[in-house]
Amino acid sequence: MSEPLLDIRDLRIQFATENGVMEAVKGISFSMARGETLAIVGESGSGKSVTGLALTRLLPEPPAQYPSGRILFGGRDVLKMPPKELRALRGNKISYIFQEPSTSLNPVFTIRNQIAEVIRLHRPEVRDLDAEVIKYLDLVGIVDPAKRLHDYPHQLSGGMQQRVMIAMALSCEPDLLVADEPTTALDVTIQAQIISQLKDIKERLGMAIILITHNFGIISGIADRVAVMFRGRVVEYGETGQVLRNPQHPYTRALIDCIPRLGARRERLTTIDHAALAQFDAGNA
């Protein structure tokens, strides 16, 4: 059996605050193979984005602390990497797409300059930067990319800005792409297009993807496996179809029940009873 691309074991993440230590991630474990897509699903505050940032130690240290655990990427423990090795990992082997592209793109630089800077930093052997930028803009579905090179972010729609962010992340040719809520603030039609684009790119390039989301409704067509996070813990982990068809944890069932369905007539959407879930976890500890 081949070595996993990413192997996380008993990872704990804490933050030092004025009121003491706050534990955001509480001993989670999961692994993923090369070319696999893993969805990390949970509501805001469950620890999923913190987990994604920890993969390359993007969390400021301090206040972030890692009291235990391992983050093995390609067999190397990220938590033990020196700064030079971390810089080579970030954006090169592991790239990110963050939510809210309008705040991630620099408003005073052109699209060409922002993508070319990434290529220049991580792939200095590339000589024709314009051709390379155009290649990745075309890959993510930007129409007539050569004419978009000198556009500024404000000249693009939200969906096009997100495609530019994806192109920027892909231009490093990473082994792992971490997409943190990549469809937030986009309408449902554009959401579907972005997810479809990610699936197509994954199949063409053979890279692995971690899709961080609160929405079970978008993962069925792209994710191979899913990890459900609740209060800093992975409460359910398995093959996506199996989890969707037969969820075992009441939190997973509650999240699935929250998905609005066309044609369903309800006076109120299902809400999550956190007290009942805490009682369930205490009884199964």
pLDDT 10s per residue in the chain (285 long)? 568 899 999 999 999 888 888 889 999 999 998 889 999 998 888 888 999 999 999 888 889 899 999 999 988 899 998 888 888 888 788 988 887 777 778 889 999 999 998 888 888 888 889 998 998 898 888 888 888 899 999 988 878 888 888 888 888 888 899 988 877 766 777 777 778 878 888 888 888 999 998 878 778 888 899 999 988 899 999 998 898 888 888 888 888 877 666 665 656 666 666 676 666 666 565
| Whether the Cβ atoms of residue 120 and residue 172 lie closer than 8 Å to each other | no
* pLDDT for the residue numbered 125: 87
* pLDDT for the residue numbered 74: 86
* pLDDT for the residue numbered 39: 92
The closest of 190, 213, 191, 216 to 270, measured between CA atoms, is 216
* pLDDT for the residue numbered 227: 93
pTM of the predicted model over 0.75: yes
* pLDDT for the residue numbered 1: 53
* pLDDT for the residue numbered 266: 59
DSSP β-bridge partners for residue 65: 14
* pLDDT for the residue numbered 281: 63
